[in-house]
Amino acid sequence: MNKKILLATGFAAAVISLSGFIIRKNLVKKADLRLPAGFSATIVADSLGPVRHIAVTGSGDVYVKLNALRKGKGIYFLSDTNHDGRLDKKLAFANYPGTGVKIKDHYLYSASNTGIFRYKLNGKDEVIDTENPEVIVQGLVDHAHDNSKSMVLDDQGNLFLTIGSWSDACRQRGSGQGIPGCPILDSAAGIWKFKANKFNQAFSDGIHYAKGIKNAVGIDINPVTKAVFATQHGRGSFDDKFPQYYTPKQSAELPAETVYELHEGLDAGWPFAYYDQIQKKKMLAPEYGGDGKTSTDKYADPAVAFPGHMAPNDLLFYTGSMFPKRYKNGIFVALHGQSASPKKGYLVAFIPFVNGKVSGDWEVFADNFAGTDIEHPSGPIKYRPMGLAQGPDGALYVADDLKGAIFKIVYKK
């Protein structure tokens, strides 16, 4: 990075101690992941702390969003200064935590838990002024639970923003019954559309694009159809309040974790309904008259359904040319949790697409982030996939929020 730019932008003051951040020359650690033939992975950064989403520049530098401040900062800018494959330099800025981070049209867009900021980038995708970001959206609801504000930007100047529900099932306090109409839906549990280039937008300036999506942490745009896709975290247990309808085993397996193809006005049904991946039906929630057997066709079905409690925390359409042709325009999903049946989790899944549409079942792409047999664990979980990004060469980057590591997955014939 140019020294004059650093001094002009305030980045020089943001250079922090690299203790705990390995920078020895040529020390690129191979990652012990299970990958399809021809793929390999390295750990290009570690010990970063509570990492959430990431964005990779055209030069291969990486912006990292943190879910909690470290030394008062919430974004890292990582670069490989000696070109040995290791991100050896770390700069920190931004005084807020959050999840979403995107690069679009020479700007870095970054989320706090209550809004979106924007930073102008220079020709090398470096932030020009770290101290004075533009405020794009502000004043969004934050109840400190499922409060990430993930985002994606289209080519028409729109910013699609996720707002999760802090309530698991919109129940009345002290009761197993749902709140009639669930007023939470007015300000959360959905996707809102804002202008990407308009400053100081309030919540009221947004368009309620899709609703009934409990907590969408991953969001991206289909490169073929231009439709927005978003993941959804499913609700929690059923058997605690409704043991007459659900066994503990069913609660451990349901409901599905899902991916939705969105359009304006879509209603995915939360909290009134959930998707049962075993019966392959939308079911009425027990808080709203369901009994585990009553289905409904009132709400949209997902494009993809994963087993319950796998926690899809990011979604990326792959547009690169490094990977084999079958991966082109398909989806990678970072699964941050673990399902009870089948006993899978802490992995990156792949969903094939043809002509912009899902063309097959989801499959395991990168596994063994946990570093232990999760059916019969013999030690602690090592890593949990959290964020995804594509490099300029077509490599896939995966962020881990347990140790704060970043993996780089490449393909070579």
Rounded to whole angstroms, the Cα distance separating 112 from 149 reads 7
Q: Which residue type is seen at 77?
A: F
Q: For residues 317-324, give the mean pLDDT.
A: 98
Instruction: List strand residue ranges (DSSP E) for 269-411, in order.
Output: 273-276, 281-284, 304-306, 312-317, 331-338, 345-351, 353-354, 357-358, 363-366, 385-390, 396-400, 406-411
Judged by average pLDDT, the poorest of 233-242, 255-264, 298-307, 321-330 is 233-242
pTM beyond 0.75:
yes
Closest by CA to 54, choosing from 403, 411, 400, is 400
Q: Which residues pair with 257 in a beta bridge?
A: 306
Question: Which DSSP letter does residue 250 get?
Answer: H
Rounded to whole angstroms, the Cα distance separating 351 from 74 reads 32
Question: Which DSSP letter does residue 5 get?
Answer: H
Q: For residues 86-90, give the mean pLDDT.
A: 95
Q: N- to C-terminal Cα distance for the chain?
A: 33
Q: Which residue type is seen at 320?
A: G
CA atoms within 13 A on the CB side of 243: 2
pLDDT value, residue 18: 37
Say how many C-beta atoms besides its own lie within 10 A of residue 155's C-beta.
9
CB 133 within 8 A of CB 103: no
pLDDT value, residue 384: 97
Chain centroid offset of residue 70 CA: 20
User: What sections of 137-192 are H helices per DSSP?
Assistant: none
Token look-up 């697409």 returns 353
pLDDT value, residue 27: 59
At 9-42, the pLDDT tens digits run: 444 334 433 333 433 444 578 999 999 999 999 9
Please provide the average confidence, as pLDDT, over all residues in the chain: 93
413: confidence class by pLDDT, cuts 50, 70, 90: confident
Say how many C-beta atoms besides its own lie within 10 A of residue 237's C-beta.
17
Burial class (CB in 10 A: 0-12, 13-18, 19+), 42: middle
Sequence ranges of the domains in the chain: 3-411
Rounded to whole angstroms, the Cα distance separating 318 from 326 reads 10
Rounded to whole angstroms, the Cα distance separating 382 from 123 reads 37
Say how many C-beta atoms besides its own lie within 10 A of residue 146's C-beta.
19
User: What sections of 2-104 are H helices per DSSP?
Assistant: 3-9, 11-14
Architecture of domain 3-411: 6 Propeller (2.120)
Rounded to whole angstroms, the Cα distance separating 65 from 101 reads 6
pLDDT value, residue 259: 98
At 103-156, the pLDDT tens digits run: 999 999 999 999 999 999 999 999 999 999 999 999 999 999 999 999 999 999
Residue 53: both structure tokens together: 């989403």
Radius of gyration of the chain (CA): 21
Checking if the pLDDT of 174 tops 90, the result is no
CA triplet 406, 408, 412: central angle to 5 degrees?
170
